[in-house]
Amino acid sequence: MASKLFGGMDLSKVAKEIKEKGAPSPYESSAARPVVPAAELALSGRTTPMGERVSVLSVDPKRCRPWKFHNRDVAWYTKERCGDLIDSIVKDGQVEPVLARRLTGDAHFDFELIYGMRRRFAAEFTHTKLKLKVTDIDDAKAAVFMHIENADREDISAMERAVSFAQQVDAKIFPTQEALAEAVGLTASQVTKLVKAAQLFHLVPLAKLFPDKSAVPVKPAYELMNVMERPGAKDVVLKAAQNLVTRGDGARSPSAIIKYLTESLERTKQLEPIQREYAVGPTARMRMTRNPKGKVQLTFPKGLHEADRAGLLAAIDALLKDLG
């Protein structure tokens, strides 16, 4: 992950070296020497901390809001999903400070968190102060800080990263998707797929079906967005989504919902209308009509008799061949 933002440093290599040490951080936590997250060490070009004293603030968590490109979905902020942090804070206090930028001119918040929103929720839940360190880095560097800090966390889903990348692209934090990919150590095609998958949430009827973005699988979402580029496909899919919303069909999994939406195109596929006649024996006739939705109807203008059995079977065989 050689990043031009940080002098060509291979950030992924530095972060890997940190994590391979076997401890969550080279620091052992104390009031004077708190844990240093991997992101901060990687972005400073070190795999071990310097000996200087680190200044950590203790603030009211209610005065902190997420950075607008934070990659945590709000569905994470529950007692159940943050139970590990809540228990840890009750037992040992907050070990790792969060990283924040100071806000000005906001009556409701003093800081925005670049990462650490689960820690913020746990601090508020336990009525304790939130420990944070303040930085003045720009959005591009903040995006890389956040990406490295969360890159190996199993509870950050691919779709959460996709949504965050899409927001960064829309806001032009990076001049191009290729520049974003270079900054976070992914290929351009990986970022393209992630950003495209996240566009699913730009369409209100689709977004309503997925209140928990973190649970939406990226690959099927990407494939659905590709399907919707076909002529007329978008209207069909959005109509199917609206039907699901109206019915309140919340029992389906995100994967099942996407599958249903994708298959909606096949269910409404328009076929060429057909009308043909077939000989049934020496005198009888069979007329076949097929409507645009594929419904086939057979009629026999002169009726049928027992003697027409062989001719009828031959006519149906010919009909099936014509229908393919």
Q: What is the mean pLDDT of residues 83-111?
A: 89
- Report yes or no: 192 and 159 within 8 Å, Cβ to Cβ: no
Structure tokens given for 301: 């203008």
What is the arrangement of strands in the sheet containing 111-115, beginning at the earlier edge strand? 57-59, 130-134, 98-102, 111-115, 64-66
Can you tell me the distance from the alpha carbon of 100 to that of 85, in angstroms, rounded to the nearest whole number?
A: 19
Does 73 score more than 90 pLDDT? Answer: no
Q: What is the mean pLDDT of residues 51-68?
A: 79
Q: From residue 21, how far is each of 18, 52, 223 by CA, in Å? A: 6, 21, 39
Q: How confident is the model at residue 48 (pLDDT cuts 50, 70, 90)?
A: very low
Mean pLDDT is lowest, of 6-20, 146-160, 270-284, for: 6-20
Give the CA-trace dihedral at 267, 158, 101, 84, to 10 degrees.
110
- Report yes or no: 253 and 292 within 8 Å, Cβ to Cβ: no
Q: What is the SS3 string spanning the chain?
A: CEEHHHCCEEHHHHHHHHHCCCCCCCCCCCCCCCCCCHHHHHHCCCCCCCCCCCCCEEECHHHEEECCCCCCCHHHCCCCCCHHHHHHHHHHCCCCCEEEEECCCCCCCCEEEEECHHHHHHHHHCCCCEEEEECCCCHHHHHHHHHHHHCCCCCCCHHHHHHHHHHHHHCCCCCCHHHHHHHHCCCHHHHHHHHHHHHHHHCHHHHCCCCCHHHCCHHHHHHHHHHCCCCCHHHHHHHHHHHHHHHCCCCCCHHHHHHHHHHHHHHCCCCCCEEEEEEECCCEEEEEEECCCCCEEEECCCCCCHHHHHHHHHHHHHHHHHHC
Q: How confident is the model at residue 153 (pLDDT cuts 50, 70, 90)?
A: low
Structure tokens given for 322: 């014509």
Q: What is the mean pLDDT of residues 219-232?
A: 91
Give the CA-trace dihedral at 152, 157, 160, 165, to 10 degrees.
50
Q: What is the mean pLDDT of residues 172-188?
A: 86
Give the distance, in angstroms, between the CA of residue 203 and the centroid of all CA atoms in the same chain.
14
Does 204 score more than 80 pLDDT? Answer: yes
Q: How confident is the model at residue 220 (pLDDT cuts 50, 70, 90)?
A: very high
Nearest partner of 240 among 216, 206, 271, judged by Cα: 206
Does 58 score more than 60 pLDDT? Answer: yes
The label of the residue with tokens 């699988």 reads 217
* Entry pTM: 0.61
Give 285's Cβ-side CA count (13 Å radius).
6
Quick one: pLDDT at residue 6?
A: 47
Q: How confident is the model at residue 15 (pLDDT cuts 50, 70, 90)?
A: very low
Can you tell me the distance from the alpha carbon of 124 to that of 117, in angstroms, rounded to the nearest whole number?
A: 11
Q: What is the mean pLDDT of residues 149-166?
A: 77
Mean pLDDT is lowest, of 43-52, 123-132, 211-220, for: 43-52
Q: What is the mean pLDDT of residues 57-75?
A: 84
Q: How confident is the model at residue 53 (pLDDT cuts 50, 70, 90)?
A: very low
Does 61 score more than 50 pLDDT? Answer: yes
Give the range with max mean pLDDT: 3-12, 41-50, 259-268, 278-287. 278-287
Does 136 score more than 50 pLDDT? Answer: yes
Structure tokens given for 96: 């790792």
Does 78 score more than 50 pLDDT? Answer: yes
Q: What is the mean pLDDT of the chain?
A: 79
Give the range with max mean pLDDT: 47-61, 141-155, 221-235, 268-282. 221-235
The label of the residue with tokens 């928990």 reads 212
Q: What is the mean pLDDT of residues 206-216?
A: 88
More confident residue, 317 or 156: 317
Structure tokens given for 303: 């009726």
More confident residue, 79 or 279: 279
Quick one: pLDDT at residue 75?
A: 65
- Report yes or no: 103 and 112 within 8 Å, Cβ to Cβ: yes
Quick one: pLDDT at residue 40?
A: 53
- Report yes or no: 197 and 222 within 8 Å, Cβ to Cβ: yes
Does 306 score more than 80 pLDDT? Answer: yes
Does 277 score more than 80 pLDDT? Answer: yes
More confident residue, 61 or 183: 61
- Domains, the chain, ranges and CATH? 2-155 (3.90.1530.10), 203-267 (no CATH), 274-323 (no CATH)
Q: How confident is the model at residue 216 (pLDDT cuts 50, 70, 90)?
A: very high
